[in-house]
Structure formats: structure tokens, C-alpha cells
Amino acid sequence: MDPDVLAKAFVEHYYTTFDNNRGGLATLYQEGSMLTFEGQKIQGSPNIVAKLTSLPFQQCHHSITTVDCQPSGANGGMLVFVSGNLQLAGEQYALKFSQMFHLMPTPQGSYYVMNDIFRLNYA
Amino acid sequence: MDPDVLAKAFVEHYYTTFDNNRGGLATLYQEGSMLTFEGQKIQGSPNIVAKLTSLPFQQCHHSITTVDCQPSGANGGMLVFVSGNLQLAGEQYALKFSQMFHLMPTPQGSYYVMNDIFRLNYA
């Protein structure tokens, strides 16, 4: 499969899940997965999902501006770099963000998130 | 060495070289290195440096806002995620950018850039 197509499909799936069923992100991370969220380091699927579901907003909508991807050189791994806007319910202006994922293939032919780094881009 | 200290040292070295001696970046990339610059894919140190030295500005100054890093899981590799400002000579306003590097260790105990993805963050 074309890596760019795969990266876009992952990104669409990830943010749709985030916006509609945040707890469902648990299946995309594993025990060794790492998230750095605004500088805070979190490891393991349960801790990562606990962080994401406890963010101080309920309804949100991510819209994607750019998706770039490259093979990471690590056993079929793929680096995905995203920029976009995060609209929180009740807020007038969207927040800009950048996020990178390092995806690793699973034995089932799918991918999980090995590395995840998220930053808001303050104007 | 503390990975965060190493990441910050790399980032400082990279942008100081970019701002003062852009051609000197050649030593930080290798033949298999990949750069995605504003969506354009370039491979190999000579092509990457040709791209960076042909950007339509001579003098610039990068200032770094955040540096995050994680081990990539690939043979001592390290993911480094940067946000910052790029000031071009003669321009009133700085450009915001995000950039990620995948660093791999060299046999000499140093690191080279395996993956590099750069995006301007338009307001």
C-alpha cells in the first residue's frame, strides 16, 4: 500500500476516534507506547488514554492541514507528521497543533502508535 | 547521556550550522537520509543540502521554542520534535515552524539525521 495513502488513512481514523470516542484510542497504543503531550511524558496505553480522556474539554473537532510521512527504517515503521486545527466546543477560535506519530506494524497487518509527540502552536 | 540533553545539544548545533554555514549541514545527513520540506521529498545528503542552500533567502535566524524527544525503538534511534520561529533578514515578522528529526547513532559515537520533516505553521 502507498505509504502516503496509509498515513492519511491512519490520521483520519485517529482523529475521528479522538473526536467521537476518545477511549477507543486504547487499541491504537500498546504497553511500550510513548506520548509526550505538551512536554509531559506518559508511557503505556492505559496511561496515555487516561491522559487523553482527562483533558479539560469534552467535545472537540480536529481538522487536518498537512500529513507528511517517511519510512523510519525500523522494521516497517512509519513516521507521520501532522499539522492542523483543534476546535473546542464553545471556543471562538481553533487552536493550531503539530503532532508526530511513529507507527509500527502489528502481526495482524495493522499498525500501532509506538511514539506520539503533540504540541500546540501558539501564535 | 540524558536523551533530553542530547536532543537539545543536537538542535542547537543543527540550527546554528543552518544559520551560519548552511553547507556544513552535509555532515549531518547520509546517503539514505530523507527530508520532506513543505511536502517536497528529497533523499540523500547532497540533494538535501542542495535544497537547503537554494532556499530563497540567505540570512536567517532560528529561535527554538520547544524540544521534545523520545527513543524511536530503532537501534538507538531518537525522535526529536522541535517548534520555533524562523526570522528572515529584512522581514518584519518571524515565521513559525515545526520540524521533526529521527537521529541514528554513527559508529563514531555521534548521530546523523535519518529522517527530517519540516513544515511552516501558517497563522
The whole-model pTM stands at 0.96
pLDDT band at B123 (very low <50, low <70, confident <90, very high): low
Which contacts qualify for A45-49: CB closer than 8 Å, 24 or more apart?
A: A48/A116, A49/A22, A49/A23, A49/A25
Q: Does residue B30 carry a pLDDT above 90?
A: yes
| Nearest-neighbour CA in chain A from B45: distance (Å) | 16
Helix (H, G, I), strand (E, B) or coil at A59: coil
Interface test with B, best of A29, A72, A95 (most B CBs within 10 A): A72
Cβ separation A102–B72 shorter than 8 A: yes
pLDDT band at A122 (very low <50, low <70, confident <90, very high): confident
pLDDT in tens, A20-73: 999 999 999 999 999 999 999 999 999 999 999 999 998 999 999 999 999 998
- Let me know: does A62 contact A18? Beta carbons within 8 Å: yes
Q: What domains lie within chain B, and their CATH numbers?
A: 3-121 (3.10.450.50)
Cβ separation A121–B114 shorter than 8 A: no
What distance in Å separates the CA atoms of residue A41 and residue B119, rounded to the nearest whole number? 24
Q: Does residue A74 carry a pLDDT above 80?
A: no
ipTM: 0.95
Residues in B touching A113 (Cβ below 8 Å): none
What distance in Å separates the CA atoms of residue B113 and residue A38, rounded to the nearest whole number? 24
pLDDT in tens, B67-100: 999 999 878 999 999 999 999 999 999 999 999 9
pLDDT reported for residue B75: 83
Q: Does residue A113 carry a pLDDT above 90?
A: yes
pLDDT band at B120 (very low <50, low <70, confident <90, very high): very high
Residues in A touching B66 (Cβ below 8 Å): 39, 119
Q: Which of B41, B68, B115 lies at the smallest CB-CB distance from A72?
A: B115
pLDDT reported for residue A123: 66
CA-nearest residue of chain A to B67?
Answer: A39
pLDDT reported for residue A60: 96
| Nearest-neighbour CA in chain B from A76: distance (Å) | 11
| Nearest-neighbour CA in chain B from A74: distance (Å) | 5
Q: Which of A98, A115, A119 lies at the smallest CB-CB distance from B79?
A: A115
User: Burial code of B13-49, b = ≥16 C-beta within 10 A, e = fewer?
Assistant: ebbebbeeebeebbebbeeebbbbbeeeebeebeebb
- Let me know: does B95 contact B75? Beta carbons within 8 Å: no
